[in-house]
A = this chain, B = another copy of it.
């Protein structure tokens, strides 16, 4: 049984005021680089370039308070940003956090969120180095990730997939969408599906997987954020190639299949359109890098196919 829900009691942001809110965040996610007008980061690799990405999460839109915890939301906000950095083959080194929240929000919500951020950033030996807090009518969390890429290899681009390459993936695809469907169903959730709930609450991204892929010959990469077919289509369109996925490499595993039966849903829908796994998908010459598996091939042409045919499901996340 996975813990869900936001704290509803205790002193609020309005009760304690801006100074104490910031102090709670800094205590939960400490960094010696925080506390000035801006953070100064010293790069540590030769030919170091800066890599930056940002994502915004809105309560009720990107997460549901009863389906998750502030701790998990903080982790998710970091992981989905760090996934964008990893998808360049770069190394996340710092995060910045801007929060807007109603004054009646319990301080415990922000503390728990910052603790999640502080803990997950350490998986990448990175830190929360700065931020901003303000009041607003709904909880909005904006995280910016800063990464570093060194050496002379190119960054992993959306437009670098080439005919003849292998399509590679790291991590489980469809788990996040299955977890969300279970939570939304309102049914009791058997313990065997905990792994799906966890994957929905906090995307499971292995630190360094993008860096490894770049070193091992990957050229194009993105993260599975909006739905597999949609994200792979972005790679194919930007690169001007056709990507043919292999169904046996993507087929729902035992847990996804069981969850599909439990809810009366075709689990292929989660795999092909779910998104939010924030695992890495790319293309490479030669064999798949350590930790990656082959899920298809790149050829001349356009669009995305599965075993040579149109995918059954092609929807994905739309912001509006």
Q: Which residues of A are interface residues toward B (Cβ below 8 A)? A: 13-14, 16-18, 21, 35-43, 48-58, 61-62, 83-85, 87-88, 90, 94, 96-100, 103, 129-138, 140, 142, 144-147, 149, 155, 157-158, 221-223, 318-320
CA distance A279 to B132 in the complex (A): 19
CB distance from A39 to the nearest CB of B (A): 5
Question: Does B138 lie within 8 Å of A36, measured CB to CB?
Answer: no
Number of copies: 2
CB distance from A303 to the nearest CB of B (A): 17
CB distance from A232 to the nearest CB of B (A): 14
CA distance A313 to B308 in the complex (A): 73
CA distance A38 to B97 in the complex (A): 17
Question: Does B39 lie within 8 Å of A53, measured CB to CB?
Answer: yes
CA distance A185 to B100 in the complex (A): 28
Question: Does B319 lie within 8 Å of A35, measured CB to CB?
Answer: no
Q: Could you list 7 A-B pairs, sorted by A, with CB under 8 Å?
A: A17-B320, A40-B50, A43-B48, A52-B129, A54-B130, A135-B320, A137-B137
Q: Which of B50, B97, B221 contacts A50 (CB 8 A)?
A: B50
